[in-house]
Each structure stands twice: as C-alpha cells, then as structure tokens.
Structure 1
Amino acid sequence: MQGGGAQLIFPLLLILIFYFFIIRPQMKRQKDHQAMVDAIRRGDQVITQGGLIGKVQKVKDEGEIEVEIAQGVTVRVVKSTITQVVNKTEPAKK
C-alpha cells in the first residue's frame, strides 16, 4: 500500500516544480509585456522584434502603431511585436 502513495507523490511534486519554475514566471512575463504594450504613447522610442528602433508617431486602436524609423519614413507595426520601450519621453532638442 505504501508503494502506491509514493508513486502518486512523485508526479504531483513534478507538476508543482513545473508550475513554480516554468509556468508561473512565463505568465508573469506575459503580463508585464502586455502592460508595457498597453502603456505605449506617442513620442516613446521603441524596439521591435525585428530589431527596428524608432519613435512612435501614432497609436491606433486596432493593435497597431506607426513608428518613424528614419526622418520621413513611417512604418505600421503590430503592438504585440514591440519588445522594449527605450525612452518614455521625447529627448530634449539642442
């Protein structure tokens, strides 16, 4: 009878380890990324998954933003592909 209890504890212990070391941190990263994406505003400097760095010109409701990657060159980017917000405010002009 004791062998059956030990066989049940091991899979439960394995599930707990997976939850605390893999699933829970991944859910926290997803939540943090969604909060960062939701907080993107005009003038923020962002980096996309493709490695483009640019300044947000317009935030659209459809999950898109317009990013200026060079003077006069604006591209539409899906918000969820933003990996990092570099500067939250516009830099001071000299």
Structure 2
Amino acid sequence: MMDFILLMGDPKSGGGSFQLIFLGLMIVVFWFFMIRPQAKKAKEQKSFIDNLQKGDKVVTIAGIHGVINKVNEDNTLSLEINPGSYIKIEKSSISMDWTAQLNKAATADKK
C-alpha cells in the first residue's frame, strides 16, 4: 500500500503534481498525434486547391472525372467531363487524394 501512495502522491500532502504532469503529457500526445497531422493535411489541401490550373485532370469528391477548362475568380471551376460538356463546380469539391491516384495511374501507364 505504501508503494502505491509513493507512486500516486500522498493526498494529504497535496500530491496533485503527478496528475498535473500526466494531464500535460496527455495534452502533448493528443496534439502530436491528432491536431498536428490534421492541420498539416488541411494546409496541403489548401495548397493543392490554390495550385489548380487549366488542363489539370481531376476527380471530384463525388467521383466525377474531368479536365479543368477554366478557373473562375469566384472559387469555381469549369470542368469538362466529356468533349463539349462542361459543369461548374466549387474548387473545394476536388479530391486531392483521388486526383493524386488518377495522375499516378496515368504516369504509370506512360512508362
């Protein structure tokens, strides 16, 4: 029983310092494994969206494949889905992951 009191701190002597350190470590671990990767992914997504240009082959989050025909100033794109068929979509609806897979497959086919 005495060992347990030594590890956890004696409640009579204000042994909350261990709990405070443990809470701080939990916050650091939570930030390192949850918040930091999510912020990094959001930054990559924003960079991807900002660098879209005419002629890029893309896939939307709805699974529509097409080629960017025009980048509009109101955060929309004109996407050519078939020769002569265009749709207007939001830039944010482009899937970074699926577009990367599409372009990766296209470069692998060329080799």
Measure, in 1, the Cα distance between the counterparts of 2:36 and 2:79: 32
Amino acid at match of 1:69: I
Q: 1:61 aligns with which of 52, 60, 73?
A: 73
Measure, in 2, the Cα distance between the counterparts of 1:28 and 1:34: 10
Higher helix share: 2
2:16 alignment partner in structure 1: 4
Deviations 1:28-72 (A, max 9, x none): 000001101100000000011001110000001111001011122
1:41 alignment partner in structure 2: 53
Task: Return 5+ residue gaps in structure 2 as ranges.
Answer: 1-12, 104-111
Alignment partner of 1:43: what SS? coil
Measure, in 2, the Cα distance between the counterparts of 1:39 and 1:3: 54
- 1:1-94 matches, within 5 Å, as 1=13, 3-84=15-96, 85=99, 86-87=102-103
Higher strand share: 1
Task: Return 5+ residue gaps in structure 1 as ranges.
Answer: 88-94
Measured after TM superposition, the shift of residue 3 of structure 1 is 2.0
Identity %: 38
Task: Write out the 4+ residue segments of structure 1 that deviate beyond 2 Å after TM superposition.
Answer: 84-87
Measure, in 2, the Cα distance between the counterparts of 1:36 and 1:16: 29
Amino acid at match of 1:71: P
